[in-house]
Structure 1
Amino acid sequence: MSTPAPPSPVRGSVLAFDVGGTDMKAALQDGSGNFHSLLRMPTPRDPARPGDAVVKEVAALSQRYAREYPEASVQALGLVVPGLVDEHTGTGLFSANLGWRNYPFAQRLREETGLPVAFGHDVGLAGEAEMRLGAGQGLRDAVVLIIGTGIAGAVFCDGRRVLGGGYAGEIGHAAVPSGTLCACGAHGCLETVGSAGAIVRRYTERTGRAAAGAKEVLGAARNGDADAAAVWADAVEALADGICHLAAVLCTEAVILGGGLSQAGDHLTGPLRRAVDSRLSFHRRPGIRVSVLGQDAGLRGAALHARGLTESPL
């Protein structure tokens, strides 16, 4: 009697795409939750048709995965994007950094790929993944704060993510005293001082020297560069202002830091905890945690969302 062949490890797969303000990530996730052929590339841009540029790239990558894994039987596709979104209609309402308005991502991708499409906010679904699989496990009231090109948060109250019609969690566009003109058109936004992108921009403006990233600015600060230290300190102070607003309004148990800037570790969390503690009086002091899922949180969230459309959730 012949022994049946073991099931392919990539059967029951979904595709996951995480579009960021700078980079885009893609992967195929198998039925056991493992990622295969994780790719990272610059986010495609076309000023005249910004949404179409993303859809074209996602469709091309979907075809590539189908060629590389013909046995995968991909069941659904998950896409997360930044900015304001309507997850129920699958629409990207607005992205200050990437330029689209009211773009029907889910509809266009269904047309291009023939797959069921789960669409959502990059930070919101990264937050759901972090709460389910990462540093937020066991918490009911938390904010997952992603600090990268911009700043946005996923707000969880009593175990549920607050959607607010797609507008909740945009703490990066709350005003802080040191804020400057923002790409959104407002003046004074937190992300003009506290984001990784702002740290690089403000250091370059202050010194005339280009920096490759916020990590380089932090390294310069640690090596005695007074300008870098001032820019870093300003970012920490602005982030502390934002976190204190969250603590006052939401009484959150923890703020979980994700995105590129969270990789600074104790160089960020140490001074940030002290700055937050010095500002709060009677409020519950939120714990400051660092994401466990790291740079994969958005992809994990996209994959979880896609699995919600299938019969094989993890």
Structure 2
Amino acid sequence: MSPAVATRVVLAVDLGGTTMKGVVVDETGREVADLERPTPTAGVVEALGDLLGELGSVARGQGLTPVGAAVVSPGSVDEGQGVVRYASNLGWRDVPLRDLLEPAVGLPIAVAHDVRTAGLAEWRFGAARGSDDVVLVPIGTGVAAAVVSAGGLVTGATGTAGEFGHIPVVPDGEPCACGQRGCLEVYASGAGVARRYAARTGSVATAREVVARLGSDPDADEVWAEAVTVLARGLAILTLLLDPSVIVLGGGFSHAGEALLVPLGAELRDGLAWRAPPEVAVSRLGDRAGRVGAAVLAFEAAGLGDLVTAWPTS
């Protein structure tokens, strides 16, 4: 017989530019229900309220009691005020998300940055558990970072700490959509690898397809080697500035396995001539990290943060 489900639950939503992924999480850390909805082009706040309402109804239908909620968002987020200062892919500027959602949902709600929240989850329950100095680098279409230093998440003066993808690491390099040149994510991201391969060959391929062609396609070899070199430069900068004990790689890039980790480890060692590199690990939580972290914040918003200390690691 399976154990009884804890009564108290929270509602957690990972808001993306194309989808909103919501889960109901009980006080043992178990996901008891999930819902996914497309992110609309307009009326996103209302859609979030509707999704949280649906999640609450599902929970109550199972005899569970929602006690808090959290929404994690891309962009620049003032977590103390619950305000999304800027999110380009949502068309948001200075949106007081917490104040807009709490009256509609009737629960205390935390609002936080998606990548920092994923970093929180990976630090507490995933590949970085046990370390007080960690960098999580999710690499997908773009690149970002979540920084844990001396046991605390680094947010920065304006809430934008962690824009790792926009470190200019290639002097006079290719232009980036942000307006700079030579940004890391122009070369070392899923979109960057696909775009640069197409520019070389005239052939459309995803980053995963480029990786599959390694060893048999010189153009794929060259584009991938440049991506790894640029990523290693960026990680060397992070290492020298922050001295993390572990760097956790997430996102689609991390699925490349040894094709990424072996050359990246060698180049990172070469780029740190006088010191040993930190451990480089692959995310254990994967695309669940944002939702797991959001559930943690939701329990904290409800004044029940002590419950998550007993959650299992992944």
Moved more, 285-294 or 230-239: 230-239
Q: Which amino acid aligns with 1:188?
A: G
Moved more, 91-100 or 299-308: 91-100
Partners of 1:147 and 1:133 in 2: how far apart? Answer: 20
Matches within 5 A, 1:170-185: 170-177=163-170, 179-185=173-179
Match of 2:153 among 161, 174, 178: 161
Structure 2 equivalent of residue 77 of structure 1: 69
Structure 2 equivalent of residue 130 of structure 1: 122
Unaligned runs of 5+ in 2: 309-314
Match of 1:27 among 12, 23, 30: 23
- Report SS of the residue matched to 2:280: strand
Displacement of 1:232 after TM fit? 1.8
Unaligned runs of 5+ in 1: 1-5
Partners of 1:122 and 1:40 in 2: how far apart? Answer: 16
Partners of 1:272 and 1:232 in 2: how far apart? Answer: 11
- Report SS of the residue matched to 1:255: strand
Displacement of 1:20 after TM fit? 3.2
Moved more, 66-75 or 267-276: 66-75
Q: Does 1:263 align with 2:247?
A: no
What is the TM-score when the length of structure 1 is the normalising length? 0.88
Deviations 1:23-47 (A, max 9, x none): 43221111221113334455x252x
Corresponding residue pairs, total: 301
Partners of 1:200 and 1:76 in 2: how far apart? Answer: 41
Partners of 2:20 and 2:208 in 1: how far apart? Answer: 20
Match of 1:205 among 184, 189, 199: 199
- Report SS of the residue matched to 1:236: helix
Displacement of 1:121 after TM fit? 0.9
Tell me if structure 1 keeps the 8 A contact 2:193–2:223.
yes
- Report SS of the residue matched to 1:164: coil
- Report SS of the residue matched to 1:38: strand
Displacement of 1:245 after TM fit? 0.5
Structure 1 equivalent of residue 298 of structure 2: 306
Tell me if structure 2 keeps the 8 A contact 1:45–1:98.
no
Matches within 5 A, 1:272-287: 272-287=264-279
Structure 2 equivalent of residue 297 of structure 1: 289
Partners of 2:82 and 2:188 in 1: how far apart? Answer: 30
Displacement of 1:267 after TM fit? 1.7
Q: Which amino acid aligns with 2:232?
A: A
Deviations 1:110-135 (A, max 9, x none): 24322211111111111111111111
- Report SS of the residue matched to 1:101: strand
Structure 2 equivalent of residue 225 of structure 1: 217
Partners of 1:255 and 1:288 in 2: how far apart? Answer: 5
Structure 1 equivalent of residue 78 of structure 2: 86
Partners of 1:186 and 1:218 in 2: how far apart? Answer: 27
Displacement of 1:10 after TM fit? 5.5
Deviations 1:214-259 (A, max 9, x none): 222211235x122222222222111111101111111221211112
Displacement of 1:22 after TM fit? 4.8
Partners of 1:218 and 1:144 in 2: how far apart? Answer: 22
Partners of 2:194 and 2:22 in 1: how far apart? Answer: 26
Q: Does 1:66 align with 2:56?
A: yes
Tell me if structure 2 keeps the 8 A contact 1:79–1:118.
yes
Structure 1 equivalent of residue 312 of structure 2: none
Partners of 1:96 and 1:226 in 2: how far apart? Answer: 36
Partners of 2:291 and 2:91 in 1: how far apart? Answer: 22
Partners of 1:180 and 1:99 in 2: how far apart? Answer: 26
Structure 2 equivalent of residue 3 of structure 1: none
Change (3 A) 1:96 1:177: farther
Partners of 1:240 and 1:41 in 2: how far apart? Answer: 36
Partners of 1:22 and 1:133 in 2: how far apart? Answer: 27
Displacement of 1:8 after TM fit? 6.1
Q: Does 1:11 align with 2:7?
A: yes
What is the TM-score when the length of structure 2 is the normalising length? 0.88
Partners of 1:208 and 1:45 in 2: how far apart? Answer: 33
Displacement of 1:57 after TM fit? 2.7
Moved more, 191-200 or 236-245: 191-200
Displacement of 1:103 after TM fit? 1.9
Tell me if structure 2 keeps the 8 A contact 1:21–1:149.
no
Matches within 5 A, 1:81-120: 81-120=73-112
Tell me if structure 2 keeps the 8 A contact 1:247–1:284.
no
Q: What percentage of residue pairs aligned between the two structures are identical? A: 40
